[in-house]
Amino acid sequence: MTQILIFLKQKIEFMVLIFIFLSYPLSAFAKSQAVKPAPEYEKIFYKEKGWIGADGAYSVSLGPDTALWFFGDTCIGEITSGKRKIDAVINNSVGLLRGKNPKKASVEFFWNKDSYGNSTSFIKPDDGIGWFWPFGAVISENKLYIFLMQVDKSQEKDSLGFKLIGTTLAEVDNPFDNPYEWIINQRKIPFGKFSSQGNLFFGSSVLKEEGFVYIYGCSEDWSKGPDGRSMIIARVPVDKITDFNYWRFFAKDEWVADLNMVSGLFNGIATEYSVQYYRKLKEYVVVYTQDSMSMNVLARTSLTPFGPWSKPRIIYECPEYAWDKGYFCYAAKAHPELSLKKEDLIITYVCNSTDMDKLSSDVRIYWPRFIKARIDPE
């Protein structure tokens, strides 16, 4: 249990540093016209035993009525007398959601256990170094591809105990089977740069469109201050995802083989975000938390999957900031497979706390928080 608390303390300290770093006056973003909380979806994920909270919350459709969900750091334990009793914190878990109607839908969670019966992450690095946080995923050619951020402990002065060291592409040959029966092949993604001055990586969001898989990522340059993270894009034919020779990078209106030429499309993007085709506007929309950690959930639109992108508008202001001075929100993204109407954007984000004790005492936080939004033309 001591190791669990140490890990959570390091992660929270890291988030607090970002929170302070990004606390600056907001731009005059336009606001969307229609948005409301969607607690009917939150009830699906609320459990009192076993899986009792997580962040991350990426998803991918398996079919008309099923979807896979991928979570980052996950609390395993039980909720009693309105409080969490955390037995373990694992680095990732998987959910299988059955049904789109929140009144009838259910979710089953998956994680592993070691030979002693202790809870462990669903997927671990083949090389045995560090751990994975899952990001975007896509189904292509009847296989599942999951982009995984590989993280490791660090003794560097400004790392707060851990750092991003690489990215891995997990290929699942049989994604329609029970997740415990998956056949998974891991491939290290050769495109990335990792340093204390900022990382460059792909996998923040994934979109399959017109014969290509678009793989969105981030390029970070912290010398530019809190606005120093920009969106970048790669793409690859749908049947060549694991052949890195076919990856091309968007650079000033053309697709090139040289990663060093990749263009930053706009600044202020989060590390986690979503890109989807929004049927109401017949445009693409990116949803993200402002600068990765903020009360503001933002959206931009584009006529193509690669821009140019509109100015940001505020979709939602997270009310949890008023609950406690130590609460912060992050990881906003949309889940198109949940939309019952073309007008609706079903969006999740996560609320966390700078006070570790709040994870136990306030069970309202550290779950996927859901909102339902609609974006009108500008």
Q: What is the share, in percent, of the chain residues with pLDDT greater than 90?
A: 85
Is residue 27 scored above 50 in pLDDT? no
Whether residue 100 contacts residue 337, with contact meaning beta carbons closer than 8 Å, is answered with: yes
Report the pLDDT value the prediction gives residue 25, as an integer from 0 to 100. 41
Whether residue 10 contacts residue 162, with contact meaning beta carbons closer than 8 Å, is answered with: yes
Whether residue 368 contacts residue 42, with contact meaning beta carbons closer than 8 Å, is answered with: yes
Strand pairing report for 66-80 and 93-98: antiparallel
Report the pLDDT value the prediction gives residue 159, as an integer from 0 to 100. 52
Report the pLDDT value the prediction gives residue 368, as an integer from 0 to 100. 97
> Which of 17-26, 189-198, 331-340 has the lowest average pLDDT?
17-26
Whether residue 372 contacts residue 344, with contact meaning beta carbons closer than 8 Å, is answered with: yes
DSSP characters over 125-161: -TT-SSEEEEEEEEEETTEEEEEEEEEEE---TTSTT
CA–CA dist 192, 201 (Å, integer):
5
Residue boundaries of the structural domains of the chain: 2-374
Report the pLDDT value the prediction gives residue 2, as an integer from 0 to 100. 44
Per residue in 258-282, pLDDT (tens digit) is 999 999 999 999 999 999 999 999 9
Please provide the average confidence, as pLDDT, over all residues in the chain: 92
With 0.75 as the threshold, say if the pTM is over it. yes
> Which of 214-228, 300-314, 322-336 has the lowest average pLDDT?
214-228
User: What's the one-letter identity of residue 184?
Assistant: I
- What is residue 227's DSSP assignment? G
Is residue 28 scored above 50 in pLDDT? no
Is residue 15 scored above 60 in pLDDT? no
CATH class of 2-374: mainly beta
CA–CA dist 306, 174 (Å, integer):
30
Per residue in 1-13, pLDDT (tens digit) is 544 444 454 555 4
CA–CA dist 275, 285 (Å, integer):
6
Per residue in 170-221, pLDDT (tens digit) is 999 999 999 999 999 999 999 999 998 899 999 999 999 999 999 999 999 9
Residue 202 in tokens: 């792909």
Per residue in 144-154, pLDDT (tens digit) is 999 999 999 98
Per residue in 312-328, pLDDT (tens digit) is 999 999 999 999 999 99
Report the pLDDT value the prediction gives residue 33, as an integer from 0 to 100. 55
Report the pLDDT value the prediction gives residue 155, as an integer from 0 to 100. 77
Per residue in 63-117, pLDDT (tens digit) is 999 999 999 999 999 999 999 999 999 999 999 999 999 999 999 999 999 999 9
Is residue 23 scored above 50 in pLDDT? no
Which residue intervals of 29-179 are DSSP H helices?
39-45
Burial 240-265 (b: 16+ CB within 10 A, else e): ebeeeeebbbbbeeeeeeebeebbbb
Beta-bridge partners for 317:
296
| Mean pLDDT for the stretch of residues 349-361 | 95
User: What's the one-letter identity of residue 161?
Assistant: G
Residue identified by tokens 């030429």 is: 261
Whether residue 116 contacts residue 90, with contact meaning beta carbons closer than 8 Å, is answered with: no
- Counted residue by residue, the chain has a size of 378
Report the pLDDT value the prediction gives residue 162, as an integer from 0 to 100. 83
Residue identified by tokens 């100015």 is: 311
pLDDT-derived band of residue 160, with 50, 70 and 90 as boundaries?
A: low
